[in-house]
């Protein structure tokens, strides 16, 4: 949709100065969330520009801001997946894609800057999460429920509800949708699977408390005239129903022990995935099913949870392995976890590995056989044999930690630090519960860019370029040069957003500033000729004048792709700029017969009539067309054809044509407000990358622009070639990377006892002994200042016969060969997505796929995917059913971030 720049839906006249804006909005933006309040989403790009404009950021020491960065009306178009319905894109991330502001702050911003015409505010409610520990969160994405009648359960209508809405709200909506009279008695049911139902009897329960989740089917039944319920019929077909204490749904036919789904209680797939992996860990499950835990519960351990986590887990395992339920709703277990770990108490998406780490530690402390932990002083190796130091470390660990979790999951790893100054070697042995392995980082990155050629008749061309992951803008230009032949020194790299330059990059800036979703346009700007003339590169924006009776920017709409032109300083006149712009847009602007609108220009060549400008509302242009096509507003009537590049330094100044089709204004870098008018006939004093707007009236634009050609672009062969398959990494590559020596960072030094100071020592991890159940966490999520990323590299891991012996540095260690027993999967991006699990049933040795309440048969060839996140391996040898031996039987593998 067209972006009305400057005025939008609010005025600028009553806007206070930037100091007042900072003072008024600062406290509002720091407001704490309160349940039921309304907050508004604002596109982070617009908001960041506002902050720079008013000097809101801490780096702006003097708080003066940048008057050239006037942000214009609030523009949320970047958040919409569908501009027509204005529905949000999926998987937007707070602070990265949008910021949240309270109602009062939003109202002030709208009063000061207005909104883009036609855009509706994105308002969301604050909801309360948590059972025992309360958290408040703005509910950006509403919950989609599928509603149907009991008489026609296959016809569902999708509706969105807040988690703070009550079941009564759902019932009211369903009565309206299905035309059910108010006097008719109704009841609601959850449908968990095709034949499993749970009644929603508490109308005052919230959607969250009722455990409803995304995509949940809710069925309404109306009482018959004879006083019976239709449900007596649809529930009689062997379908399930709710039973009491554990919210389990009994199935009419018995299921295989262990093949029991877990209902999603609202973003709890992470918990379900971790629980299914642990449930299918034979030695741990046998321990609970045989009630061995009862004698070992430690209710007095100050580090434990009074045995409550262990008891809740035991009850859940017994339900899963009873063979009586097709699935259960683990509400009681989640309640207990939420009491002791507030981060898991709500219903926001979490990390299955983090829950797993908490659960293993919680079970360990609840089942610790050590009632009173002795104080032990750590001793350095001081040259002693590794075997002696390792044995001592393991025995000390067992003196304080002795539980089924230690028996099964704990191992030992060796850590070696060497001081770079005095060569002091420090060796320690530490226990671990799971092994966090780094993934080899990609060394390069594929970027889509559009090259805008200096030749005005050359359509823009899209390229795929391969650049170093941690490279600079200059690397991008060099890669593009190899594909296009355009010299890198003639390139200017820009980020185009909403018909303006969001950023013009310097050659030494890092590519990590460019997000995957940014629209990168590279402009060919010719170098100065040898006559020594000094050139200025200018930004040119297209604006269409609206019908408003004002001369300021509130009466204009930005459209098309901006242009970059290079002009000799001594030719910076309106007439010359007019001719340069006309030439640059000559490919897609169709001028009428010359005699009708202008006198012929005396310059060489004929006046070119093909000047096309991209429509104001065509946002896709920014991605597809070259920047040049729509960038400048219509060029003048008669661009005289000059062969060279944008500079046109050798061409004679064109004579002004009789009728000029656009006028110039000097504007801020966003093209949203005018700085001054342009005086004809004088040399203009413009700096590098000053921004000019060329303003068109609607009729001229409609008459002269060839919109189709303006949006036209070509694809380079690099775009058409099939992209290389993502690199596949072997699990052993990850293990080798984990055990590679590294130098500590300057912010993470080691205190050398010899030097008596912190040093950037070298550090190396080795595996000393490995446990019976080896849990491997693939470190897929990475964080940086500029973006958060998930590595979707496929890691090839063996289903059976993982030989870890070569990685164990204890020379006396036995054989460490493992078989896979479970995998926790994560699909989607970081902070969102979905968790599932593959697991091998210990009764029949077959693989199954666990997706919340659904359980299905799986084959081994389905298991190795890019979604694999946490792997569970069981040691193959005869010792796997006995308690671990001294240190060499236990192993290391630890999480070292």
| Residues with active-site annotation | 269, 834
Is residue 784 helix, strand or coil? coil
What does residue 794 show for φ and ψ, rounded to 5 degrees?
-80, 120
Specify whether the CB–CB gap between 670 and 576 falls below 8 A: no
**In angstroms, what is the C-alpha Rg of the chain?**
33
Q: Is the Cβ–Cβ distance between 691 and 72 less than 8 Å?
A: no
CA distance 225 to 371: 65
| Phi and psi, residue 737, nearest 5° | -65, -40
Contact between 808 and 769 (Cβ < 8 Å): yes
What is the C-alpha to C-alpha distance for residues 131 and 123, in angstroms, rounded to an integer? 26
Question: Among residues 363, 373, 371, 398, which one has the least CA distance to residue 293?
Answer: 363
Residues 6+ apart with CB under 8 A from 123: 38, 39, 40, 41
Measured distance CA(424)–CA(421) in Å, rounded: 8
Other beta carbons within 10 angstroms of residue 678's beta carbon come to 17
Distance CA 707, CA 441 (A): 43
Give the three-class secondary structure for 184: coil
Q: How many angstroms separate the Cα of 451 from the Cα of each of 447, 711, 843?
A: 12, 14, 61
Furthest C-alpha separation in the chain: 102
Sign of CA dihedral 457, 462, 464, 466: positive
Of 651, 647, 626, 653, whose CA–CA distance to 527 is shortest? 647
| Secondary structure letter of residue 133 according to DSSP | S
Task: Single out the residue of 669, 672, 657 nearest to residue 589, CA to CA.
Answer: 657
How many helices and strands (H and E) does the chain possess?
21, 45
Q: Would you say 674 and 553 are in contact if contact means Cβ atoms under 8 Å apart? A: yes
Q: What DSSP letter does each residue of 393-451 carry, written as one string?
A: HHHHHHHH--SHHHHHH-EEEEEEEE-TTT--EEEEEEEESSEEEEPPPPSEEEEEEEE
How would you classify residue 360: left for phi > 0, otherwise alpha for psi between -120 and 50, otherwise beta?
alpha
Task: Give buried/exposed letters for 171-193 (b at 16+ CB in 10 A, else e).
Answer: bebbbeebebeeeeebbbbbbbb
DSSP one-letter code for 850: E
> What share of residues in the chain are helix, strand, coil (percent, to 5)?
25, 30, 45
Q: Tokens 């010299």 correspond to what residue?
A: 487
| Torsion 271-273-274-278 (CA) sign | positive
CB 69 within 8 A of CB 55: no
How many residues does this entry show for the chain? 897
Measured between its terminal Cα atoms, the distance across the chain in Å is 45
Contact 755, 424 (CB under 8 A): yes
**Residue (of 839, 697, 797) closest to 321 by Cα position:** 839
């Amino acid at each position: 949709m067209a972006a009305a720049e400057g005025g939008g839906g609010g005025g600028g006249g009553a806007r206070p100065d930037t100091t007042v804006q900072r003072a008024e909005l600062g406290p509002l933006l720091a407001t704490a969330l309160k349940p039921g309040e309304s907050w508004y989403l604002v596109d982070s790009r617009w908001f960041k520009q506002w902050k720079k404009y008013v000097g809101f950021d801490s780096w702006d020491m003097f708080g003066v801001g940048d008057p050239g960065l006037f942000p214009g009306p609030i523009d949320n178009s970047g958040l919409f997946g569908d501009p027509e319905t204005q529905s949000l894109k999926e998987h937007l991330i707070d602070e990265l894609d949008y910021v949240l502001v309270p109602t009062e702050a939003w109202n002030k911003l709208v009063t000061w800057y207005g909104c883009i015409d036609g855009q509706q505010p994105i308002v969301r409610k604050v909801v309360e999460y948590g059972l025992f520990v309360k958290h408040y969160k703005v509910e950006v994405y509403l919950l989609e429920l599928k509603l149907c009648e009991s008489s026609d359960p296959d016809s569902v209508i999708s509706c969105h509800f807040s988690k703070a809405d009550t079941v009564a709200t759902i019932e009211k909506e369903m009565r309206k949708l299905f035309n059910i009279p108010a006097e008719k008695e109704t009841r609601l049911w959850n449908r968990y699977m095709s034949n499993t139902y749970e009644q929603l009897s508490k109308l005052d329960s919230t959607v969250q408390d009722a455990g409803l989740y995304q995509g949940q089917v809710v069925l309404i039944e109306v009482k018959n005239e004879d006083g019976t319920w239709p449900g007596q019929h649809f529930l009689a077909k062997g379908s399930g129903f709710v039973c009491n204490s554990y919210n389990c749904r009994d199935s009419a036919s018995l299921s295989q022990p262990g093949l029991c789904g877990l209902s999603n209680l609202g973003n709890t797939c992470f918990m379900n995935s971790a629980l299914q992996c642990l449930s299918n860990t034979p030695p741990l499950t046998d321990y609970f099913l045989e009630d061995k835990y009862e004698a070992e519960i430690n209710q007095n351990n100050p580090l434990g949870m009074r045995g409550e986590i262990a008891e809740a887990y035991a009850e859940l395992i017994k339900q899963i392995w009873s063979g009586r339920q097709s699935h259960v709703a683990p509400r009681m277990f989640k309640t207990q976890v939420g009491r002791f770990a507030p981060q898991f108490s709500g219903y926001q998406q979490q990390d299955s590995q983090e829950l797993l780490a908490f659960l293993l530690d919680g079970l360990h402390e609840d089942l610790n056989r050590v009632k009173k932990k002795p104080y032990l002083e750590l001793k350095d190796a001081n040259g002693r044999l590794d075997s002696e130091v390792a044995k001592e470390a393991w025995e000390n660990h067992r003196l304080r930690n002795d539980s089924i979790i230690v028996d099964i999951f704990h191992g030992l790893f060796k850590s070696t630090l060497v001081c770079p100054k005095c060569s002091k070697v420090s060796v320690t042995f530490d226990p671990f519960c799971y092994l966090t392995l780094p993934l080899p980082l990609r060394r390069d990155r594929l970027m889509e860019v559009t090259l805008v050629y200096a030749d005005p008749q050359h359509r823009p061309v899209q390229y795929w370029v391969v650049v170093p992951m941690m490279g600079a803008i200059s690397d991008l230009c060099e890669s593009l040069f190899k594909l296009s032949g355009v010299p890198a020194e003639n390139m200017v790299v820009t980020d185009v957003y909403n018909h303006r330059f969001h950023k013009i990059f310097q050659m030494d800036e890092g590519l990590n500033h460019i997000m995957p979703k940014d629209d990168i346009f590279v402009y060919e700007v010719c170098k100065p000729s040898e006559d020594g003339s000094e050139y200025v590169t200018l930004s040119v924006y297209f604006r269409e004048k609206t019908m408003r009776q004002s001369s300021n920017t509130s009466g204009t709409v930005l459209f098309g792709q901006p242009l970059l032109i290079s002009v000799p300083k001594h030719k910076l006149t309106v007439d010359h700029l007019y001719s340069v712009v006309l030439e640059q847009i000559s490919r897609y602007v169709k001028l009428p017969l010359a005699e009708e609108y202008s006198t012929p220009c005396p310059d060489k060549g004929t006046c070119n009539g093909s000047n096309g400008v991209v429509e104001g509302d065509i946002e896709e242009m920014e991605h597809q067309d070259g920047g040049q096509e729509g960038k400048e507003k219509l060029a003048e009537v008669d661009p005289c054809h000059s062969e060279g590049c944008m500079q046109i330094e050798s061409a004679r100044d064109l004579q002004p044509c009789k009728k000029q089709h656009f006028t110039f204004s000097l504007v801020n870098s966003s093209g949203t407000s005018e700085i001054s008018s342009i005086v004809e006939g004088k040399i203009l004093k413009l700096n590098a990358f000053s921004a000019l707007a060329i303003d068109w009236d609607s009729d001229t634009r409609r008459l002269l622009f060839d919109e189709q050609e303006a949006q036209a672009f070509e694809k380079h062969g690099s775009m058409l070639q099939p992209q290389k398959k993502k690199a596949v990494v072997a699990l052993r590559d990850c293990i080798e990377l984990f055990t590679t020596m590294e130098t500590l960072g300057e912010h993470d030094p080691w205190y050398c006892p010899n030097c008596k100071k912190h040093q950037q020592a070298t550090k190396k991890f080795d595996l000393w002994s490995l446990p019976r159940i080896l849990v491997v966490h693939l470190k897929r999520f990475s964080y940086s200042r500029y973006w958060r990323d998930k590595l979707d590299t496929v890691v090839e891991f063996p289903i059976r016969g993982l030989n870890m012996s070569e990685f164990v540095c204890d020379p006396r260690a036995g054989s460490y060969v493992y078989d896979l027993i479970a995998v926790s999967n994560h699909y989607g991006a970081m902070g969102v997505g979905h968790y599932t699990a593959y697991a091998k049933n210990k009764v029949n040795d077959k693989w199954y796929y666990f997706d919340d309440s659904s359980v299905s048969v799986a084959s081994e060839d389905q298991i190795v995917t890019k979604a694999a996140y946490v792997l569970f391996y069981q040691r193959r040898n005869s010792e796997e059913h006995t308690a671990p031996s001294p240190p060499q039987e236990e192993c290391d593998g630890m999480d070292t971030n």
